[in-house]
């Protein structure tokens, strides 16, 4: 039985109230005031309102192991009150720094019902980013742990500042935190409970938002629509594949954004079976589909005047007597043929279907998101998402990611590497075994072949970007900054920001 909690039961996602106040409220038994300490050379220096707290000024902070180092947190007793301290080093100098400080506060003090944060913020934008950081880290995946599950203590976050933050800004923080945690819940769910049909069912159950419709394509519909990539990958499993099409159509849409997400609910590698160590973590291989679904829902909840069409390409890649064999040839909806040389390069096969379908709609911007290649981690480590595509789309993603505070790195679509995709019997192979050169880039080149042209007789492709976040979708190390352990929810905020910027650009 699937036990993923519904939105209404998600304690962390529904119960925290974020407020901006001009003055600090009266302290209570279940509240804590949080102040900032920084560094003046090697000395600890009270920052902002902290310098006015008499009892705090008299403490020998170094002897209490208080640090002014960036993100360092501590608690001190001042009379009968316990105060929280957050290190801000030389100061909060950027939006990302503000989110990181917020992340440190959110982790260290979420055992308190109310926190009153009175630290220096230079602008309303910095204040919003600080609150975002707190919200982003409010997540704990404990659905499968036995014993009593204690609800989260943190209920109210008050930021004390003279800067003006609107109700819509605070609402956006709540909407994004819900989207992040819904994404994380899906990605963290084990493959025995989250399979294609179940994932499709959950996404549909979350779609009761004005302007949003959802279609679920089963095997018969996929065959009728010639979605042969998804069918080929999914045919080895007893749990059949699905395509979920989410459409958000506001009445006065300014532009059309198409999203395509990889949704491999578990990836064994198929007949090209992964080694035991490599197979661990493959429940995360549907992070792209989960992310674009929740980003679409967030865009709809925010009421952005942008039409969004999202294609979730969902399958389970299993070895069996019915599984696709290496050297099988697939003919795709757009007529291209692919020789499957590696059934463990399956993500690009399901994504090809989604890209063809999205291309037929001629959107203003098309973005695909996938945990596509191990080569992304080899090239970029654990935190940067690989970004490839057409110039205009790349610029749009880079701008949005910078605003959202997420790390992307523009990688080339090196034309000479396309030779690695040549097949003796078909248009392409899906992987060149034995030659790992530029494997992330080769994945992008493969996907580009399924992006349609902007006009029937033209040469330019549609405005398209490919994001390979096999790097940042899952954090198997300790939490850091405003990243949680496990499924991170990476790229949700960037995609929402893309939609916001697209709407603003079209208005002009």
> Of 100, 35, 24, which Cα lies nearest the Cα of 61?
35
The DSSP string of 168-234 is HHHHHHHHHHHHHHHHHHHHHS-TTT--HHHHHHHHHHT--STTEEEEEE-HHHHHHTT-HHHHHHH
Query: 51: Cβ–Cβ under 8 A, 6 or more apart, which residues?
Result: 57
Task: Please tell me the distance from the alpha carbon of residue 155 to that of residue 169, in angstroms, as a whole number.
Answer: 18
How many CA atoms within 13 Å lie on the side-chain side of 133? 30
Catalytic (active site) residue 19: no
493 is catalytic: no
- Give the Cα-Cα-Cα angle 337, 343, 348 (nearest 5 degrees): 60
Q: How many residues does the chain have?
A: 508
One of 242, 301, 307, 348 is an active-site residue; which one?
348
- Helix, strand, coil fractions of the chain, as percent rounded to 5: 35, 25, 40
Q: Which of 274, 362, 383, 485 is catalytic?
A: 274
* Calpha distance 174→302 (Å, rounded): 10
From the CB of residue 374, how many other CB atoms can be counted at a distance below 10 Å? 15
Sign of CA dihedral 428, 430, 435, 437: positive
Distances (CA, A) of 303 to 144, 175, 209, 300, 364: 35, 11, 10, 5, 19
Residue 199 and residue 23: Cα distance in Å, rounded? 46
User: How close are the terminal C-alpha atoms of the chain, in Å?
Assistant: 50
Indicate the DSSP class of residue 246.
Answer: E
> Which ranges of 51-146 does DSSP label H, i.e. alpha helix?
54-57, 95-108, 124-136
253 phi and psi, to 5 degrees? -65, 135
Q: Which residues are catalytic?
A: 274, 348
């Amino acid at each position: 039985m699937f036990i993923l909690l519904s939105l209404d039961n998600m304690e962390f996602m529904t119960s925290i109230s974020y407020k901006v106040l001009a003055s600090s409220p009266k302290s209570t038994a279940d509240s804590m005031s949080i102040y900032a300490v920084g560094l003046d050379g090697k000395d600890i220096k009270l920052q902002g309102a902290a310098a006015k707290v008499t009892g705090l000024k008299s403490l020998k902070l170094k002897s209490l192991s208080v640090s002014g180092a960036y993100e360092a947190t501590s608690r001190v007793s001042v009379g009968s009150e316990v105060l929280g301290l957050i290190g801000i080093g030389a100061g909060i100098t950027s939006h990302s720094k503000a989110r990181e400080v917020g992340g440190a506060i959110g982790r260290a003090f979420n055992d308190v019902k109310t926190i009153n944060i009175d630290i220096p913020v230079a602008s309303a934008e910095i204040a919003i980013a600080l609150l975002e950081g707190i919200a982003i880290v409010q997540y704990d995946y404990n659905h499968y742990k036995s014993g009593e599950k204690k609800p989260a203590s943190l209920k109210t976050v008050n930021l004390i500042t003279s800067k003006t933050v609107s109700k819509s800004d605070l609402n956006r923080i709540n909407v994004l935190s819900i989207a992040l945690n819904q994404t994380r819940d899906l990605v963290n769910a084990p493959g025995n409970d989250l399979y294609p049909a179940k994932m499709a069912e959950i996404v549909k159950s979350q779609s009761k938002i004005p302007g949003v419709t959802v279609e679920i394509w089963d095997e018969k519909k996929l065959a009728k629509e010639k979605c042969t990539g998804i069918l080929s990958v999914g045919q080895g499993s007893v749990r059949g594949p699905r395509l979920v099409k989410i459409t958000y159509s506001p009445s006065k849409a300014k532009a059309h954004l198409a999203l395509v997400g990889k949704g491999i609910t578990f990836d064994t590698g198929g007949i090209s079976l992964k080694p035991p160590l490599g197979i661990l973590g493959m429940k995360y291989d549907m992070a792209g589909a989960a992310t674009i679904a929740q980003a679409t829902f967030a865009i709809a909840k925010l009421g952005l005047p942008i039409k969004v069409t999202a294609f979730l390409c969902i399958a389970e890649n299993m070895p069996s007597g019915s599984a696709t064999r290496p050297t099988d040839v697939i003919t795709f909806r757009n007529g291209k043929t692919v020789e499957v040389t590696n059934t463990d390069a399956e993500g690009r096969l399901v994504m090809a279907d989604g890209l063809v379908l999205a291309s037929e709609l001629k959107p203003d911007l098309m973005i695909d998101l996938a945990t596509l290649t191990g080569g992304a981690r080899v090239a970029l480590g654990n935190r940067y998402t690989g970004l490839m595509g057409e110039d205009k789309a790349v610029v749009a993603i880079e701008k949005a990611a910078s605003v959202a505070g997420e790390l992307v790195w523009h990688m080339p679509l090196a034309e000479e590497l396309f030779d690695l995709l040549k097949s003796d019997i078909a248009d392409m192979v899906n992987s060149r075994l034995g030659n790992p050169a530029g494997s992330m880039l080769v994945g992008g080149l493969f996907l580009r072949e399924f992006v349609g042209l902007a006009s029937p007789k033209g040469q330019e492709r549609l405005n398209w970007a490919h994001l390979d976040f096999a790097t940042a979708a899952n954090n198997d190390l300790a939490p850091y900054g405003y990243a949680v352990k496990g499924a991170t929810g990476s790229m949700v905020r960037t995609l929402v920001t893309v939609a916001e910027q697209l709407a603003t650009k079209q208005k002009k």
